[in-house]
């Protein structure tokens, strides 16, 4: 599924699977993206969103006009494997900034922090708290 952040509300751009008892991951995200501009200028994007995704299916969250986050959750029983791919969108080529996996127990917080000017002009701080639950109505 693909979602777009719009004033901290998610808008789906793909149909929702309507199976009533489908288990998946409900993930609370706190996303900070900072662009260190020249001099003392700083441009920040902050989003607090909640997204439900099917296990083993990739979902996309568009953080800003030029940045999207692909997320996949794999159920490991008491914990979840979160797979992230951060992609910066350009008019020429899309650039994958990071592809990483984090294992975290359900209802605990996982943090991803990327601050490397050789990789991106942006600093990413993404926290996620996943829970295992049925698809919300």
Which range of residues forms the domain containing residue 100?
2-15+23-134
Domain count within the chain: 1
Nearest to 136 by CA among 54, 62, 61: 54
Whole-number pLDDT of residue 18 = 55
Segments of the chain assigned E as strands: 2-6, 9-12, 23-36, 42-54, 59-64, 67-75, 79-88, 95-105, 110-114, 122-134
Indicate which CATH number applies to the domain containing 94.
Answer: 2.60.40
pTM score, whole prediction: 0.80
What are the 10-residue block averages of pLDDT along the chain, 137 residues in total?
Answer: 48 48 91 82 88 95 92 97 95 91 97 91 95 89
pLDDT per position as a tens digit, 88-117: 998 888 999 999 999 999 999 999 999 988
């Amino acid at each position: 599924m693909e979602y777009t952040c719009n004033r901290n509300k998610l808008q789906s751009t793909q149909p929702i699977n309507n199976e009533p008892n489908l288990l998946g991951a409900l993930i609370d995200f706190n996303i900070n993206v900072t662009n260190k501009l020249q001099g003392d200028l700083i441009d920040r994007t902050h989003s607090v969103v909640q997204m439900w995704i099917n296990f083993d299916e990739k979902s996309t969250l568009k953080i800003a006009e030029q940045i999207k986050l692909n997320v996949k959750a794999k159920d490991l029983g008491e914990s979840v494997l979160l797979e992230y791919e951060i992609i910066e969108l350009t008019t020429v080529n899309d650039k994958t900034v990071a592809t990483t996996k984090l294992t975290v127990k359900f209802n605990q917080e996982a943090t991803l922090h990327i601050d490397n000017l050789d990789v991106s002009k942006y600093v990413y701080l993404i926290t996620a708290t996943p829970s295992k639950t049925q698809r919300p109505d």
